[in-house]
Amino acid sequence: AGYKADVCRRGEEILADLIKNGRRGIVLGGRPYHLDPEINHGLPEMIQAYGFAVLSEDAVSHLATVERPLRIFDQWTYPARLSACAAYVSQRPDLEMVQLNSFGCGLDAIIIDQVREILTARNKLHTVIKLDEMNNLGAARIRVRSLLAALEERPPTPSAGPAAYNYRRPVFRRNMKSDYTIILPQLSPMHFPFFETSLNKFGYHAVLTPAADRTAIDLGLKYVHNDACYPAIIVVGQILQALTAGEIDPDTAAVIMTQTGGGCRATNYIALIRKALRDADMPQVPVISLSAGLEENPGFKMSWAMFDAALTGMLYGDLLMRVLRRVQPYERVSGEARQLYDYWGEKCRQDLLTGG
């Protein structure tokens, strides 16, 4: 506690000095290990050599008020600290922010996009320096000098009005249940067809996307941060492919996706989907959070009966998968095991749809 208080106090002293002497500062935002000179390669000292004061995000984040809700979930210490840091920098004409990134670690791909949205909403530049396997400052020096040149040409003028980075998500409402198509991304070919049936059994019109192909992957790569995990790229690509194929009207479509609430990217798959929909000019599409109450969508309720149907479908999927994998290597006629799998899969789905 004493160390953190000292860092905050010193940060406030430096900020006061910037105002008093008309200087400018750069906040370096990153993970704790970026304080290690062996990892940051002397980047703070290099920036100081250009006449800037250098602060860490810990020195300023306590001064910020973040205008919520944000597009992402940032309830963990690291992303919350960077969100607050970006919010504070966006309000100060004498500050800029340089974000340090190594290895695409954890939530970095998620928070990088959010920091960019906060800064650019108030006409600030967003600079990211990747320190992966870098053993000299040549590339970093170019990035910093580019930032300085850009500042000389276009001094940032932060807006004094409300923050434009607030995110108001479209909500799946009760009147949408009968008219909307709910897109279910294909995460497990032997289980998710039963989840599709479970939703349809209770009055929803769910459509399962096909397995990812090259088109879906290319769409995901186009609209998802390149440090995000490959499953996220595939999921987003499948959804965008379904919405752009011409068979589903984006104005009467919704997406459903699980949301864990844990400290990994899975909690923010929904945030990635929403960003991709916005960037693809389909911001009106609601994304339903299938979670333990992280978000409210009045038009979708997971009842115990629906949960029971989904669980039954998962058991059907497990059973059919194990039988298929067990007998397929020994089939005498190629494809015969798969035909039997398809036959019994359809019978199980019909049983799930019409059974009690």
Domain limits, CATH 3.40.50, in the chain: 2-153
Question: Is the predicted pLDDT of residue 85 greater than 80, yes or no?
Answer: yes
Query: If you average pLDDT over residues 19-31, what whole number do you get?
Result: 94
Question: Is the predicted pLDDT of residue 156 greater than 60, yes or no?
Answer: no
Question: What pLDDT was estimated at residue 183?
Answer: 98
pLDDT band for position 335 (50/70/90)?
very high
Name the amino acid, one letter, at 186: Q
Question: Is the predicted pLDDT of residue 132 greater than 80, yes or no?
Answer: no
181 compared with 160, residue with greater pLDDT: 181
Query: If you average pLDDT over residues 216-236, what whole number do you get?
Result: 93
pLDDT band for position 37 (50/70/90)?
confident
Q: What is the pLDDT of residues 42-67, one digit of tens each?
A: 899 989 998 999 999 999 999 998 98
pLDDT band for position 356 (50/70/90)?
low
Closest CA relative to residue 314, chosen from 185, 200, 209, 190: 190
**Residue 34: strand, helix, or coil:** helix
Question: What pLDDT was estimated at residue 157?
Answer: 62
Q: How does the average pLDDT of the chain come out, rounded? A: 91
Question: What pLDDT was estimated at residue 332?
Answer: 93
Q: Which CATH class is domain 2-153?
A: alpha beta
104: left (phi over 0), alpha (psi -120 to 50) or beta: left
Question: Is the predicted pLDDT of residue 255 greater than 80, yes or no?
Answer: yes
Question: Is the predicted pLDDT of residue 87 greater than 90, yes or no?
Answer: yes
Question: What pLDDT was estimated at residue 266?
Answer: 82
Q: What is the pLDDT of residues 175-221, one digit of tens each?
A: 999 999 999 999 999 999 999 999 999 999 999 999 999 999 999 99
Question: Per-residue DSSP letters for 272-336?
Answer: HHHHHHHHTT-TT--EEEESSSSS--TT----HHHHHHHHHHHHHHHHHHHHHHHHGGG-SSTTH
Separation of alpha carbons 106 and 75, rounded Å: 14
